[in-house]
Amino acid sequence: MIRLDLVTAERRSQFFTWEPFRKEETALVDLPVGGSLPWALLYPSSYKVGMSNLGLHYIFFGLKQNGIGAERVFLSPSSLSVDGERHLRDFAVITASVAYEVDVVALMRLLSREKIPLSWDERAKVGGPIVGIGGALTYINPLIFSGLADFVVLGDGEVALRAVVKAVREAMSCGRRDKLWADLSEHPSIYVPAVHNVLIEKGEELGKVRGYCSNLGDLLGHSLWLTSHATFGRTLLVELQRGCARRCPYCTIPACFGRDRKQPIEVVKGKIETLQHRFSFDQVGLVTPEASDYPHLDSLLDFLEELNCGVSFASLRLDTLTPKMVRALVAGGRRGLTVAPECGSDALRYSLGKPFSNETVIKTLRMAADEGVRSAKLYFMVGLPGERDEDVLQIADLARSIRDSARLKVVLAVNIFVPKPHTPWSKAPFWGQREGRRRLVLLKKALRGDSRGIGVREGGVKEAAVEYRLTWARLQDGISLTAKGQPFDGFLDTKETTRELSALGLSWKL
């Protein structure tokens, strides 16, 4: 799919124009025009997905505030820049926001297609663009970029943004990339492979830390643009919270993304009210790891109802879902609900840090149906630690019970469990493609004969294997990845990855 998208984007770039997309965009904040340094802000996925990512909005806003001539670049429908319709190779600086492991492959293929050397040392030799990396993946394992990046921002990008802009400007003015590396290597939340790789290999402790914004109220806090071409349409995205206080053993958010920090309710209300007076949007999307963890949610829902604003949630937890939350969704025209039971048996779910029963799942979804919901998308994982075949079969039983009791159309989104660095389950086994495929087949067989009203969307087992390899990349794996331009083969040493991440400073702490 990635390769096909890139080929399609290349062909379209010959005659494509972003003008209809730009006309459709509504900027919610006045931005400086122009700016120094041709700087590409790259999101290695589609425009539709990238424009639904608040991090992209925030960093573009920050670059423009700092006088940078930033332009957005996406994978599709064209890889020309949105704002100036330029090729990626025409930019002196490229910073990519990488959220998922699969995006690493897409990023490298796009750079290769643009004739941009993948490795930082090769780009230095030929005077190629400076390439920086940020995004969710850098919180978890920045070693993936050990051979690719001139620098990697660890954690919240806003923390290091001014330092990056300053260092890039000074290095560009004197034409010395080594000065850029040296200056940025001193920042506590920036990893510079050209400087730090050799120190990590020696086992030296670098003491790097992920940068975290402590006061969300001081940030932009909402979308920079509205567009009907985004995943959620003309939705005003509003950030309520970062980080998480829960301790789900499979999840990277509590281990890597910092303590829970919340945007003050009065600040949130003020921003929404001000924007509603000036602009028209379809609904307000509440962005948070878990909506019900925001302590002022009920007050906010009342406020949005008074403004006659529809609501959507980035994440909902089954055991804290209330009729009021469901009514807010339905009032905004949404008849589908997305939740994550994760597994089909109570005991296994409790081990995941989700202490609610199948009975609670069914009861909650029956309540949602009574409030007007007509379909439910349910996320599950297979290949979990301690999972038996009986646990997989119980997913089918639970799906039928929800269908029959709540009278909902049910879609099961089933993925292979991939253990992640820094999490309590980091040492859990990854069962691999053959066993993952067997468990998916087992589930589909269990649904045969009585699957009316139940659909299954399974995650690819090959994609899960690639994700596992990339998420556990060692420093040398990252260098090999850049050299080959594709996921590496050979032995995967998760203990070595853990040691190297610890040397960098990113050990697991809760």
What tens digit of pLDDT does each residue of 478-502 get? 999 998 776 666 667 889 999 999 9
pLDDT of residue 14 exceeding 70: no
Query: Does residue 77 belong to any structural domain of this protein?
Result: yes
pLDDT for 13 = 58
363 and 420 fall within a common domain: yes
Please give the average per-residue pLDDT across 67-96, as a whole number.
96
Query: Does residue 190 belong to any structural domain of this protein?
Result: yes
395 and 466 fall within a common domain: yes
Query: Does residue 496 belong to any structural domain of this protein?
Result: no
Look at 315 and 278; give whichever has higher pLDDT: 278
Q: Which of 36-40, 149-153, 242-246, 502-506 has the highest mean pLDDT?
A: 149-153
Please give the average per-residue pLDDT across 20-45, as a whole number.
93
Query: Does residue 482 belong to any structural domain of this protein?
Result: no
Which structural domain range is residue 304 located in?
215-315
Q: Which two tokens stand for residue 294?
A: 């925001």
Indicate the residue among 297, 315, 333 that finishes a domain.
Answer: 315
Query: Does residue 485 belong to any structural domain of this protein?
Result: no
Question: Do 471 and 420 contact (CB within 8 A), yes or no?
Answer: yes
Distances from the Cα of 432 to the Cαs of 348, 435, 466, 467, in angstroms?
20, 6, 10, 11
Q: Is 452 helix (H, G, I), strand (E, B) or coil?
A: coil
Strand-pairing partners, residue 27, are 225
pLDDT for 509 = 52
285 and 330 fall within a common domain: no
145 and 266 fall within a common domain: no
pLDDT of residue 168 exceeding 90: yes
26 and 143 fall within a common domain: yes
Q: How many domains does the chain have?
A: 3
263 and 293 fall within a common domain: yes
Query: Does residue 478 belong to any structural domain of this protein?
Result: no
Look at 95 and 16; give whichever has higher pLDDT: 95
For all residues of the chain together, what is the average pLDDT?
A: 93
Look at 245 and 439; give whichever has higher pLDDT: 439
pLDDT for 5 = 56
What whole-number distance in Å separates Cα of residue 382 and Cα of residue 463?
14
Look at 151 and 258; give whichever has higher pLDDT: 151
What whole-number distance in Å separates Cα of residue 177 and Cα of residue 226?
37
**For residue 335, what pLDDT band results from cuts at 50, 70 and 90?**
very high
Q: What is the reported pTM?
A: 0.93
Instruction: Verify cis geometry, omega within 30 degrees of 0, for the bond prior to 341.
Output: no
Query: Does residue 207 belong to any structural domain of this protein?
Result: no
Which CATH number covers residue 261? Answer: 3.30.750.210
310 and 325 fall within a common domain: no
Query: Does residue 51 belong to any structural domain of this protein?
Result: yes
146 and 31 fall within a common domain: yes
Which CATH number covers residue 372? Answer: 3.30.750.200
pLDDT of residue 16 exceeding 70: yes
Please give the average per-residue pLDDT across 288-311, as a whole number.
94
Please give the average per-residue pLDDT across 254-275, as a whole number.
95
145 and 128 fall within a common domain: yes
189 and 91 fall within a common domain: yes
DSSP 232-294: TSSEEEEE-EES-S---TT-SHHHHS-S-EE--HHHHHHHHHHHHHH---SEEEEE-S-GGGS
pLDDT for 12 = 58
Give residue-wise pLDDT tens across range 183-201. Answer: 999 999 999 999 999 999 9
Q: Cβ atoms within 10 A of the Cβ of 434, count?
A: 8
pLDDT of residue 507 exceeding 80: no
pLDDT for 437 = 95
50 and 194 fall within a common domain: yes
Question: Do 118 and 108 contact (CB within 8 A), yes or no?
Answer: yes
Q: Residue 412: left (phi > 0), alpha (psi -120 to 50), or beta?
A: beta
330 and 377 fall within a common domain: yes
Which CATH number covers residue 167? Answer: 3.40.50.280
**For residue 388, what pLDDT band results from cuts at 50, 70 and 90?**
very high
